[in-house]
Amino acid sequence: MQNKRNTANSHRYRILLVDDDPDITFSFKIGLEDNDFAVDAFNDPLLALSSFKAGLYNMAIFDIKMPKMNGFELSGEIRKLDDKVRISFISAFDIYKDNLKAEAPTLYEEKPLIMRKPISIDDFVLRIKENLG
């Protein structure tokens, strides 16, 4: 399939998931893996950044408000390493287009998938599948 990137297991999409709440990363990781995604989940954005490998992921999903580095900052650093990975955000807070444009103008142009917490695992997985499909 043309949308798939280089992954260790070519029949699955690979997702980088970063959220500072361990319960959220655990739940989303299990939900995604149950739907045939490969997931690398991190609770520390700096550790996620240092572990990132260009060309490995189809999508990166970042919480916006995290300590040490927010999701917009992390996306900017990831984008420097890989300009093809799809960047998505998830947040318990409202994300306004004007805020996204001010914080991450390049990503604003890409029209990233933005999801609001709380979200059911089924809806989370469905939105990701639609975005990658």
Residue 98 pLDDT: 66
- The string of DSSP letters for 70-108 reads -HHHHHHHHHHH-SSSEEEEEESS---HHHHHHH-HHHH
Residues 18-61: tens digit of each pLDDT:
999 999 999 999 999 999 999 999 999 999 999 999 999 999 99
Angle at 94 between CA 18 and CA 84, to 5 degrees: 45
**Domains identified in the chain, total number:** 1
Structure tokens that stand for 14 in this block:
């690979």
Does a structural domain hold residue 23?
Answer: yes
Does a structural domain hold residue 108?
Answer: yes
Residue 94 pLDDT: 77
Does a structural domain hold residue 44?
Answer: yes
pTM of the model: 0.87
Q: The domain that contains 35 carries what CATH number? A: 3.40.50.2300
Residues 62-116: tens digit of each pLDDT:
999 999 999 999 999 999 999 999 999 999 887 666 666 777 777 767 788 999 9
For residue 85, give its domain range.
Answer: 14-128
